[in-house]
Structure 1
Amino acid sequence: MKTALVTGAARGIGLATTKQFLAKGWSVAMVDWDGDELALSAKSLDNVLPLNYDISQPEQAPKIIAETLAHFGQIDALANNAGIADFGPIEETDFARWKAVMSINLDGTFLMSQAATDALKATKGAIVNIGSISGLRASTLRVAYGTSKAAVIHLTKQQAAELGEFGIRANCVCPGPVRTKLAMAVHTQEIIDAYHDAIPLNRYGSEDEIASVITFLCSPEASYVTGQVIASDGGFESTGVGLPALRGKQY
């Protein structure tokens, strides 16, 4: 049985990705720093291993890999989904906010990938990093978040270039606006309408739609796909810069 390791797996895109892997017959190591939510999400799932760790801590990534290998025996795919979105104007983004975003979004992705490399060499496995539309195009309030995701995009290309000779593929999925509980809680109707107007498909994406791209890139069907950056965004990248509803505001 193939095994995937998914970070940020307690909710949202990570949980949707976990469920899609399970539906395809994979086992899944579910990693999240929210132990209570992780335990709740994993409770009703079979063939999963919940691991309550913080990927931003350098000493924890090797422990995650070791526990996954001890339990499942192999790692065939790593989905680096864990991330935080702390938005704010440039002049209000102090170094503490900057470092907090980078430590999860970029450092955690690097640390997990590096720790998993030997295991992925053994299976000729896949890495899928979760970027963002904010890493592909600049927008308001996203100096730390957008920069971290742009770095993840380049990290993916480095991984593809350096690890390809070992049979490891690395790709990056960049979601656009996704209809998550958090987004719907903080997006006003004005913002929702503005996103709909800016997205050619005229709607938010779903967690399952993003998860389907992630699981595809980990599958044998994507065996010759590496070093790619795929925006799963309803066409949002192709349309203008920023949203008038967000300018001058903080969400």
Structure 2
Amino acid sequence: MSTQVVLITGAAGGVGRALVQRFTEGGWQVFATDRDAQGLARLQEELPACGTFAGDIRRPSTCEEAVAATLSAFGRLDALVNAAGVWREGPVEGFSEEDFDLVLDVNLKATFFMCSAAIPALKESQGAIVNISSDAGRQGNRNAAAYCASKGGVTLLTKTLALDLAPFGVRCNAVSPGDIETPMLKFQAEHYGQGDPEGYYRELLAKYPQGDRACFIQPQEVAELVHFLCQPAARSITGADMAIDRGVSAGN
């Protein structure tokens, strides 16, 4: 069997980098895309065998270009992992159209059109899609209506694709993390912590059932689950929304 190939979006971010590293360690050929060209260049310095494509996947044409570049580099595609994401927060009555469009375009629209572009190749390989959703795609988060809407859309998009693609042997699953210790989380704390990032972190951790033992999820934990879902051993898992959130979505 040929070496398997994965295309990872948001690859220069915290979760994306962890995904690139995990799949590389697992013997996959990795093609990484992100709009952060400098971040991709640093990633390729660390992992020279990794293919890269810098572009804004909010545009469907860019999604098609990313898939074409993957196929040109490696000749096949066995898995797509949609890990690109952004966070904006605030009450609905003061939320700007610009921020709303950004959140929905990056989190949901880009995921939709990356799947669309990749599906023909994945049908050929009977491959897999894993979309990074969120605990905020399962339940409401205060002051995060746009983000919740985007991730709720990702979760149901995933389930629908699982049904549509099952006859072709293609699996599609969602992974829904809680708060991950990444640059995005740091951005949240610095921009929305009202000058008290540590207080912002404490408020986030207070919702976890571990109490004083609560801590943020590590990107490597998410990468490990995603990597498993793309393996033949997970062939019976499709249409799932798998939480990795220290129990925060289990209830109160």
The two structures have a TM-score, normalised by structure 2, of 0.91
Give the letter for the 2:200 counterpart.
I
Is contact 1:11-1:41 (8 Å) kept? no
1:120 corresponding residue in structure 2: 122
User: Is 1:195 matched with 2:197?
Assistant: no
1:162 corresponding residue in structure 2: 164
Say which of 238, 241, 245 aligns to 2:250.
Answer: 238
Say which of 56, 59, 67 aligns to 2:58.
Answer: 56
| SS of residue matched to 2:89 | coil
1:22 corresponding residue in structure 2: 24
In 2, the alpha carbon distance for the partners of 1:177 and 1:21 equals 22
Quickly say closer, same or farther: Cα 1:212–1:58, change in 2 above 3 A: same
2:9 corresponding residue in structure 1: 7
Give the letter for the 1:90 counterpart.
V
1:207-246 to 2 correspondence within 5 Å? Answer: 207-240=219-252
Q: C-alpha displacement at 1:198, in angstroms? A: 2.3
Give deviations 1:61-117, integer Å, cap 9, x for gaps.
111111110110111000011111111211111322211111111110010001001
- Over the residues paired in the alignment, what is the CA RMSD in angstroms? 1.3
| SS of residue matched to 1:198 | coil
User: Is 1:73 matched with 2:75?
Assistant: yes
Unaligned runs of 5+ in 1: 241-251
Aligned length in residues: 240
| SS of residue matched to 2:205 | helix
1:248 corresponding residue in structure 2: none
Give the letter for the 1:102 counterpart.
L
In 2, the alpha carbon distance for the partners of 1:182 and 1:115 equals 26
Identity rate, percent: 35
The two structures have a TM-score, normalised by structure 1, of 0.92
Is contact 2:34-2:54 (8 Å) kept? yes
| SS of residue matched to 2:130 | strand
Q: C-alpha displacement at 1:53, in angstroms? A: 1.1
In 1, the alpha carbon distance for the partners of 2:97 and 2:203 equals 31
In 1, the alpha carbon distance for the partners of 2:177 and 2:30 equals 22
Say which of 162, 172, 175 aligns to 1:173.
Answer: 175
In 2, the alpha carbon distance for the partners of 1:210 and 1:83 equals 14
Q: C-alpha displacement at 1:196, in angstroms? A: 3.1
Give the letter for the 2:231 counterpart.
S
Deviates more, 1:14-23 or 1:195-204: 195-204
